[in-house]
Amino acid sequence: MVLKMNKVFLALGVSVLSPLALAKPVIATSIKPVSMVVAAIAGDKADIQQIVSSTASPHDFAMRPSDLKKITDADTVVWVGESLERFLEKPLENAGKEASSIEWLALEGMKLHNFAEEHHDDHEKHDDHEKHDDHEKHDDHEKHGDHEKHDDHEKHDDHEKHDDHEHHDEHEGHEGHDHSGIDPHVWLSPDNALVLAKAVTARLVSLDSANAEYYKGNLVSFEKGLSAKDAEIRNALNKVNKVPYIVFHDGYSYFEQHYGLQNAGEITVSPERKPGAKKVAEIRHEIEENKVQCVFSEPQFSPAIVKTLLEGSDVKTAPLDPLGSQVKMGTNAYFSFLDSLSGQFLNCLG
């Protein structure tokens, strides 16, 4: 009888403990582009919980109890940064996850861009940003990271209104979070994607040492694949890099500068704000003067503005999706995203 009971307890012990032994690291991600890079390293050994759906905007995103639970339950939270996902700052702090989170904009080695000077004059006055390495990398933060979601574009509005506050207050208040004036669309740069992939690899290795070689192997594969994809895209875009075009909003600088594309301007800084008659006249003049061949729209917004601008002209138009909303998640998702974006440029500029 004792022997039988011991067998029962042994069986129970195995059944209760085995799920713990098999538990995967849980990584909460803010937006889809972040998930793409994390997935390349995590593969099937970690569980990714994305907070902002691929169709929502990080700017006016309201946290629900289920979203807060993702943060609480996560071993690590990976986000772009406070200038793009301001809604995450307090929940991360309240859950005690801020220090352990990976903030893309703050990582060492990031190449950050400031938004166009005419849009953020005071950004230039903050020389000290540039004196702080990570701030330089946060530059892109300020570039309206939310554009990333296009949805967030809509929320960009207040972003701009608070830009200088962020510059002055946050710079002193939270180093590592203040990226005023910086373009937060950092995922549009293959170089910056590699910086995040390395940080995610290091974190997963520390969380799950049993699978360390798996994660490190995935990083090697990602780096090789990224190098090949980057060269392939550069070769394709070299054929159209002298063709002038206009974008819907100022949010593609990382991709444009990386591949040397010829951006001749943008329709509006904040996609939620329709341009008035004066702005429409200015853009039409710009289209004629710069011999613009294509005006890009965004799938999350009505193409009506673009139609108004192009009425009576033979300028082409096509959508650009900086968030990769249609890209299938998986270990190769980031490569598919780069393919998709470069294809959108080629189709309209070629």
**What one-character-per-residue DSSP string does 191-259 give?**
HHHHHHHHHHHHHHHHH-GGGHHHHHHHHHHHHHHHHHHHHHHHHHHTTTTT--EEESSS--HHHHHHH
Q: What is the tens place of the pLDDT at every residue in 160-198?
A: 333 333 333 333 333 344 556 899 999 999 999 999 999
pLDDT of residue 95: 96
Measured at the CA of 338, the angle between CA 55 and CA 186, to 5 degrees, comes to 70
Same domain, yes or no: 298 and 181: no
Is 148 among the domain residues? yes
278: domain CATH number? 3.40.50.1980
Is 219 among the domain residues? no
Same domain, yes or no: 179 and 251: no
pLDDT of residue 272: 58
Same domain, yes or no: 159 and 294: no
Same domain, yes or no: 195 and 243: no
pLDDT of residue 299: 74
Is 1 among the domain residues? no
Q: Max alpha carbon distance in the chain (Å)?
A: 94
Is 91 among the domain residues? yes
Closest CA to 334 of 203, 229, 183: 229
Q: What is the DSSP letter of 114?
A: B
Same domain, yes or no: 120 and 241: no
Least confident span in 74-78, 124-128, 198-202, 284-288: 124-128
pLDDT of residue 332: 98
Q: What confidence category does residue 303 fall into, taking pLDDT thresholds of 50, 70 and 90?
A: low
The larger pLDDT score, comparing residue 130 to residue 102, is at 102
What whole-number percentage of the chain has pLDDT above 90?
53
pLDDT at 314 over 80: yes
pLDDT of residue 115: 80
Are 102 and 75 in contact by the 8 Å Cβ rule? The answer is no
pLDDT of residue 25: 97
The overall pTM is greater than 0.85: no
Most confident of 81-90, 130-139, 144-153, 306-315: 81-90
Closest CA to 341 of 39, 109, 82, 36: 36
Q: What confidence category does residue 221 fall into, taking pLDDT thresholds of 50, 70 and 90?
A: very high
Same domain, yes or no: 240 and 121: no
Same domain, yes or no: 255 and 316: yes
Is 127 among the domain residues? yes
Ramachandran area for residue 150 (φ above 0: left; ψ -120 to 50: alpha; else beta): left
Same domain, yes or no: 186 and 78: yes
Q: What confidence category does residue 268 fall into, taking pLDDT thresholds of 50, 70 and 90?
A: low
Range of the structural domain that residue 293 is part of: 231-349
Are 218 and 41 in contact by the 8 Å Cβ rule? The answer is yes
Same domain, yes or no: 262 and 161: no
pLDDT of residue 277: 80
pLDDT at 226 over 70: yes
Q: What confidence category does residue 302 fall into, taking pLDDT thresholds of 50, 70 and 90?
A: low
Tally of structural domains, the chain: 2
Percentages helix, strand, coil for the chain (3-state, rounded to 5) are: 55, 10, 35
Is 210 among the domain residues? no
Same domain, yes or no: 267 and 118: no
Most confident of 11-15, 87-91, 148-152, 246-250: 87-91
pLDDT of residue 134: 39
Same domain, yes or no: 118 and 168: yes
Supply the mean pLDDT for the chain.
79
Give how far the C-alpha of residue 204 lies from the chain's centroid of Cα atoms, to the nearest Å. 20
pLDDT of residue 259: 97
Is 4 among the domain residues? no
What tokens were used for 350? 């070629």
Same domain, yes or no: 194 and 155: yes
Is 112 among the domain residues? yes
